[in-house]
Amino acid sequence: SAVISQKPSRDICQRGTSLTIQCQVDSQVTMMFWYRQQPGQSLTLIATANQGSEATYESGFVIDKFPISRPNLTFSTLTVSNMSPEDSSIYLCSVEEWKGTDTQYFGPGTRLTVL
């Protein structure tokens, strides 16, 4: 499966600041996804990022708050803007891959704490 890395692995940020999370894949992939896992909750899809087009956001998530870049087939960034304590979560990127069956493979996640 694709090997996915994320930077930073964790961060503690002040309210009102922004953080950009990087996701790097070791192979070219068409579709990348960004998820959020709030404390004690499940994974929620934020947006789908295709190279060369605008990201598609799920209900409840907007581009101004979570701008996404997808400059090539192996890299994407998610920015969490104007952060508040409610943004404290684990943020995960994933890629879709077909290996006999279609699935998504996930990066290790970025644990964000907003004070």
**Closest CB 35 distance from other proteins, rounded Å:** 8
**Closest CB 108 distance from other proteins, rounded Å:** 5
The site for other proteins (CB under 8 A) is made up of 1, 4, 31, 33, 41-45, 48, 58, 92, 94, 96, 101-109, 111
CB of 35 or CB of 83, closer to other proteins: 35
Extract the tokens encoding 60.
Answer: 């409840």
CB of 45 or CB of 81, closer to other proteins: 45
CB atoms within 10 A of CB 38: 13
**Closest CB 104 distance from other proteins, rounded Å:** 5
Greatest extent of the chain over all pairs of C-alpha atoms, in Å = 45
CB of 33 or CB of 66, closer to other proteins: 33
**Closest CB 71 distance from other proteins, rounded Å:** 21
CB of 76 or CB of 94, closer to other proteins: 94
* Measured distance CA(71)–CA(51) in Å, rounded: 6
* Measured distance CA(23)–CA(85) in Å, rounded: 23
Amino acid at 66: F
